[in-house]
Structure 1
Amino acid sequence: MSIARLHSLRSVQLQVPTLAESTDFYAEVWGLSVVERDRDDAWLRGTGPNHHVLQLTRAGQNGLGVISFAVRTPAEVDEAARRLTARGLPMLAEPGPLDQIGAGYGLRFVDPEGRTIELSADVHAVRPLDRDRAVPVGVTHVVLNTVDIDRAVAFYTDVLGMRVSDWSEHQMAFLRCNTDHHSIAFNQATWTSVNHVAYEMPSMDHFMRGIGSLKQQGITPLWGPGRHGPGNNTFGYFADPAGLVCEYTSDVAQVVEDQWLCKTWRRVPELSDLWGTAGPPSKDVRSHMAGVEDPGAFAARPELARCFADDPQTLDVPAEVHA
């Protein structure tokens, strides 16, 4: 039994050595709005009701801070803590009021590669903004580079209750927590890092107008515009001032649980871009998406990694996660 029923991907924290430049980019160019900022952090929202969808934190190099998932009630957070304890998985923060911008009630723990995961409820909401502008609603998915895709998929399905929507051969796995085709995807790689963060545009028209707005400011896509096979979503990938990859996307496939069939897609140009407009990803795109090696929470607390080595049962790959 998973520890919780995830409602949605709430927000992502990115660590950057270019805090001022990155904040200006996401606020003035990308289309997010600053909710609050201080010397070492900035919190930005989209047009949706989430208090913030992106937190930027000053750091020595690029990295992933926290991936925050929404659950519906504080009672679900407490139950998740009990189930984590029963599994022998340590928590970085026990359930309780969150001492952070946006408040809320939550807990934090780590995955097998040191990524910090937050489950939270009762986080402050904000009034939705006008969606006529070509700016993001919020974060819709995060793609993570992993050194062991089977282990990562096993953890996120078994522990977090996510479902595998599709595979791209044995190179990528797309996982959902609601009707969106994917909110997390894993890419088999040489090291652990963040591959990219995707931001939802309200429609394909908003998506294209957003890319047009960036182009008018002299910012061209690393890859795109195009439409992926897995997920059917549009894509336009860009690099922020820290070199992290951000994506405009729209029209992600919606999954009907009792009708969806997980499939394995071939990794060929005509399926990675159904429109044929973007061409294959360049060496420059791949270099940006590879990121820099990121041990996450294991850097400060290496003993956490040993918890997973001592409990291999948690990481067995269920047969049904494969297509």
Structure 2
Amino acid sequence: MSDDPHANLHSEQGALRGEHPGRARDPVIKAAGLAWLEFEKADLRRTESFAHDFGFAVSARTRDALYLRGTLPGPACVVVRRGPASRFVGPVFRAAEAADLTRMAEAVGGVVRELGEPGGGRVVELRDPSGVPVRVVHGMEDLPALPEQRPLTVNAGTEERRVNAAQRPPREPARVQRLGHVVLETRVFRRALDWYLGTLGMIVSDFLFLDDQRERGPTMAFLRCDLGGEPADHHTLAMHLGPGVGYVHSAYQVSDLDALAAGGEYLAERGHRRVWGVGRHIQGSQIFDYWHDPDRLMLEHYADGDLFDCAVEPGWAPMSASGLAQWGPPVTREFLGVNPSPALLRTVVDALRGENEIDVARLAGLMKAMRT
């Protein structure tokens, strides 16, 4: 039996000898969290309408930009700029201290400059191995807290906390509290993984591997920020190997299951399309509900996610469609991104022709996992 109190804490399997350790020995900095995500949209009016239905508040708007926030103190968690088409631009990470920006600029040959956004701050601009723009910021003003949706008082078994009172959660948007994580697809998984570990000091909570290709290394990783003994979200960034490059979905915390479920009813009544949910994930444990915005970008409401400190070592598990949830409806092809289309075929052909980690065996393994 292992003497490690964290062994098998959250996964049935740990690493085998010689497998990826899930952290870098001497990272440039240790990012303190995600600050916000940046998008471009052609129609900011339609974007704001969906944002209201999804549960964001607007912290600022200009002719060419929309700043969306949650109820918790902090900066805007989504920035949407006017552009020719709907697209994800990149993630923005928060540095723990001002000196981290200088250290980062020196390490990558960049410069520290004024951010020029509402709330001020300074920024260093990077690009990850997939070509996704990544920014690191510090010094922004925190917006004050907004009124919350308080979790309902729940009777659990013999614990009688609610007496002479009925439950009537209102049919209203599930108020977003904060940005939780972003998921990216990459053709250069190992290079991108090592870059985020070595550059931003992130650490792996869970690895997924193709069941018959474990010796080739993992194909998905859930990365959290290394806050030492302070608990951090199970994942702030998740990445998986695939033929595409860039955004898969982003996730936003709400107060509890009732807020999530009633908010989902509100979204459906407003004509929005659910992608998958409601259910509970395995890696990260959160209750989830996935939706498409009007441009078919995917967003997640979640509640009750895992929190790990820096001592928890990575778990290892085989990648499979059935392994995505503990309970809930079957995962949809829409969520998995495997609906056949000419665009998907072009993406696959392009990936197979490129200098990357996608080859026929890897592609076949990914397709098998998504059918499992």
Q: Which runs of 5+ in 1 are unaligned?
A: 86-90, 294-323
Equivalent residue number for residue 167 of structure 2: none
Larger radius of gyration between Structure 1 and Structure 2? 2
Equivalent residue number for residue 185 of structure 2: 145
Equivalent residue number for residue 138 of structure 2: 121
Which of 166, 175, 183 aligns to 2:223? It is 175
TM-score by structure 1 length?
0.81
Which of 178, 190, 197 aligns to 1:157? It is 197
Query: Residue type matched to 1:106 in 2?
Result: V
Structure 1's consecutive aligned runs of 4 or more residues displaced over 6 angstroms after TM superposition are none
| 1:81 counterpart = 2:105 | yes
Equivalent residue number for residue 244 of structure 2: 191
TM-score by structure 2 length?
0.71
The 1:14–1:50 alpha-carbon spacing in structure 2 relative to 1, beyond 3 Å, is same
1:279 CA drift (Å): 0.5
Equivalent residue number for residue 271 of structure 1: 323
Fraction of identical pairs, as percent: 25
Contact 1:199 1:249 in 2 (8 A): yes
Q: Which runs of 5+ in 2 are unaligned?
A: 1-25, 151-173, 210-217, 227-231, 345-372
**Residue deviations 1:81-127, cap 9 Å, x none?**
22223xxxxx3xx2132112221122111111221211111101111
Equivalent residue number for residue 278 of structure 2: 225
Equivalent residue number for residue 5 of structure 1: 30
The 1:241–1:283 alpha-carbon spacing in structure 2 relative to 1, beyond 3 Å, is closer
Equivalent residue number for residue 312 of structure 1: none
| 1:16 counterpart = 2:56 | no
Query: Residue type matched to 1:117 in 2?
Result: V
**1:1-323 map, 5 Å:** 1-26=26-51, 28-85=52-109, 91=110, 94-132=111-149, 134-169=174-209, 170-178=218-226, 179-258=232-311, 260-275=312-327, 277-283=328-334, 286=337
Distance 2:335 2:306 in 1: 28
Query: Residue type matched to 1:231 in 2?
Result: G
Query: Residue type matched to 1:251 in 2?
Result: D
Contact 2:70 2:177 in 1 (8 A): yes
Distance 1:33 1:199 in 2: 13
1:58 CA drift (Å): 2.0
State the superposition RMSD in angstroms. Answer: 2.1
Number of residue pairs matched?
A: 281
1:38 CA drift (Å): 2.1
**Residue deviations 1:125-155, cap 9 Å, x none?**
1111111163111210000111111111011
